[in-house]
Amino acid sequence: MAHSAVSQVSIAAPIGSDISLRRSVVKGVDNGRSECVVSNAALCSLLSRYSIKKLFVEFFLDIVAANRNSISFRDKSWASTLSWDLKSQTAQKSNQFIVRMSVQQASKSKVAVSPLELEDAKEPPLNIFKPKEPYTATIVSVERLVGPKAPGETCHIVIDHGGNVPYWEGQSYGVIPPGENPKKPGSPHNVRLYSIASTRYGDSFDGKTASLCVRRAVYYDPETGKEDPSKSGVCSNFLCNSKPGDKVQITGPSGKIMLLPEDNPNATHIMIATGTGVAPFRGYLRRMFMEDVSFKFGGLAWLFLGVANSDSLLYDDEFSKYLKDFPDHFRYDRALSREQKNKNGGKMYVQDKIEEYSDEVFKLLDEGVHIYFCGLKGMMPGIQETLKRVAEQRGENWDEKLSQLKKNKQWHVEVY
């Protein structure tokens, strides 16, 4: 997705009547001026021109009244990114302030969601539907996520559960593919678990859908090197081959390990994913940066994503937009094993990218950061070895440090 540059549109407005303020707003935008100088009263009128929520206007004017200097304020409950820089300008004499704002950014709003009752639950829903009595949901859409040069195929699958199988970010759904279990004739297939790639409001923001990020499992003959369709993954291929309107049996939701802690909205979260392991993190980030919900995130979210190449990147448009809109609250580092080299000249894996920032990562770990890992089981040994080596270089005992991280509930792992 192409993104247009966000320019700092400025308004030069004199103190005076609402009419003169309105005229200078128009003139300032037309001329691309760089500053807006207004009195407290005129400031309220100016802010109103941009449909700022009443609560924010009152809060903003409280700051002005206190004559605070050099304040940067971001209210992400209503705008993707809005920066205010206040500088006292002979406050004692004129009580005027300079306001710099981006009109383009100010026009952006977070997405309204419903039902808001989904914010009220104190405990996550767990195992509402079990394997013996699954819920029959409906496929809404199946979309290929990767480009033509990606090895394999990964799909984004939206499922309509009608609001009957609610979940929280970081939980999983079970899927029972149609047909018989070959190991138990007459019995259904075993449940396959998939991390949910949406927030509790789903991609439609109405609390009635859930999204899965599924890579089609295929097998290759070790002798010929050709794909063996007789051994293709039963559930992943069923989901990737589905059409809108098809029915799907789901169970759950399940899982508490990967729930997003929301007790401290200013906390730091480091998310490390390989491939489809990015699913729960997409849900976290949509909740942090896209939706207008009770959770007002003001901390730092740092995503490390490891995939084969650029065509294999998942949800990259969404993540890139957050990076542009929330540069102070989001970091995004990609490890492309077939396109990038690590410091030793080998392939760049996610653990190599983590090592590049090891000083920062370890500092954040000491400060109480939540760190999450999601993806194939094979990702963890390399990551653990890297973290252990870095710890030893720093004169630390990794086993003791890891034990403390787990004790502090900072360490969250879900691999499959």
Q: 23 labelled as ligand-binding?
A: no
| Residue 194 bears catalytic tag | yes
Q: 388 labelled as ligand-binding?
A: no
Q: How far is CA 382 from the centre of its chain?
A: 25
Q: 338 labelled as ligand-binding?
A: yes
Q: 376 labelled as ligand-binding?
A: yes
Which entry of 39, 195, 198, 312 is annotated as an active-site residue? 195
DSSP designation for 191: P
Q: 276 labelled as ligand-binding?
A: yes
Query: Interior CA angle at 210 toward 168 and 373, to 5°?
Result: 55
Q: 296 labelled as ligand-binding?
A: no
Which residues are registered as beta bridge partners of 175?
A: 192, 250
DSSP designation for 85: E
Contacts of 375 (CB under 8 A, 6+ apart): 272, 273, 274, 275, 276, 277, 278, 306, 415, 416
| Residue 416 bears catalytic tag | yes
CA distance 180 to 101: 61
Q: Which long-range contacts (CB under 8 A, 24 or more apart) does 361-369 make?
A: 361/270, 362/390, 362/391, 362/394, 362/396, 364/268, 364/270, 365/401, 365/405, 365/410, 367/268, 368/267, 368/268, 368/408, 368/410, 369/267, 369/268, 369/269, 369/270, 369/410
Q: How far is CA 363 from the centre of its chain?
A: 23
Which entry of 135, 194, 284, 372 is annotated as an active-site residue? 194
Which entry of 36, 213, 235, 374 is annotated as an active-site residue? 374
N-term to C-term CA, the chain: 31
| Residue 374 bears catalytic tag | yes
Number of residues in the chain: 416
| Alpha helix segments (H runs only) across 152-222 | none
Q: 405 labelled as ligand-binding?
A: no
**Binding positions:** 195, 215, 276, 337-338, 347, 375-376, 414
**Binding positions for NADP(+):** 195, 215, 276, 337-338, 347, 375-376, 414
Indicate which residues carry an active-site annotation.
Answer: 194-195, 374, 414, 416
